Structure 1
Amino acid sequence: MPVFMIERRYADDLELTADDADGVNRINSDESVQWLYSFLSADKRKTYCLYEAPSAEAIRRAAARAGLPADVIVEMTGTLRPDGSLTPM
C-alpha cells in the first residue's frame, strides 16, 4: 500500500483526545486509510503525519469527513538513512 506524508496546518493549537483519535480512525477505516503516526510542531499548529492509503484522494476524503486540514500530501517512495542507504517503501 502506498505511504503518504501529510502536512496539516491548524488555525488554533491542536488538542486531540483519545475519543477524537478514535473518531478519526473510524473514518479512516471507512476510506481504507491507516494513520501510522504524527509529529506535532512546537507551536502545536502543524502536524506531519504518515499514512498508508490507496491514494491521496482517499486521504483527502477522510480528512474532509473528519474536519481536518490536509494542506500538503506527498507520496513517499523510500527512507533515506544517515549512512546514505535507501530503503524502498
Structure 2
Amino acid sequence: MPRYIVERAFPEGLDLPINETGDRLCRKIVNTNAEEGVTWVHSYVSLDRTRTFCVYDAPTPEAIRQVGRRNALPVNGITEVSVLDPYFYLGMGRDGHESFVAAHLRTPWLPFSYIA
C-alpha cells in the first residue's frame, strides 16, 4: 500500500479537544477513512497549530481527497513517500551485504534465535 504525507492548513488553528468530543471526532474520521481503504497512521502538528503533516496509507491520492471531503478536512498537498532512515545503512559492508545486527535492527520483531 502506498504511503503519503498529507499537508493540511488550518488558518484559524486546529481545534481538536482532548476529551470525549475529540475522541468521537477521531473515531468518525478513522471509520470514514476505512470505507475508502485509507489509514491515518499519525500526524505532526505545527507549534502554532495552523498546519498538519499527516502520514497516510492509501490506495491512491484520490482516495485521500475523497475522505478529506467527507471528513470536512482540508487537503493542501499530497506527496507519495518512502522511508529513509539512518539505520538502513548501519552495518552495510563494502560488498553491499547487510550485517546480522543491521538486519535485526531493521526487523526488531524477529528474535535473535529465529534469525540465527
- SS of match in other structure, 2:64: helix
Considering fraction of residues, name the structure with more helix. 2
Q: Distance in 2 between matches of 1:45 and 1:69?
A: 12
Please report how far the alpha carbon of residue 11 of structure 1 lies from its aligned counterpart in structure 2 after TM superposition: 2.1
Partner residue in 1 for 2:64: 59
Partner residue in 2 for 1:11: 11
Task: Flag the 1:11–1:54 CA change in 2: closer, same or farther, 3 A.
Answer: same
Q: Distance in 2 between matches of 1:84 and 1:27?
A: 35
- 1:44 partnered with 2:35: no
Please report how far the alpha carbon of residue 32 of structure 1 lies from its aligned counterpart in structure 2 after TM superposition: 0.4
**Structure 1: 5+ residue stretches without partners:** none
Alignment partner of 1:33 out of 33, 38, 49 = 38
After the TM superposition, which residues 63-78 of structure 1 pair with which residues of structure 2 at under 5 Å, given as runs?
A: 63-78=68-83
Q: Distance in 1 between matches of 2:38 and 2:12?
A: 25
Q: TM-score, normalised by structure 1?
A: 0.87
Deviations 1:48-83 (A, max 9, x none): 0000000100000000000001101000123233x6
AA at the equivalent of 2:55: L
**Structure 2: 5+ residue stretches without partners:** 17-21, 90-105, 107-116
Identity %: 32
RMSD: 1.6
Considering fraction of residues, name the structure with more strand. 1
- SS of match in other structure, 1:79: coil
Greater gyration radius = 2
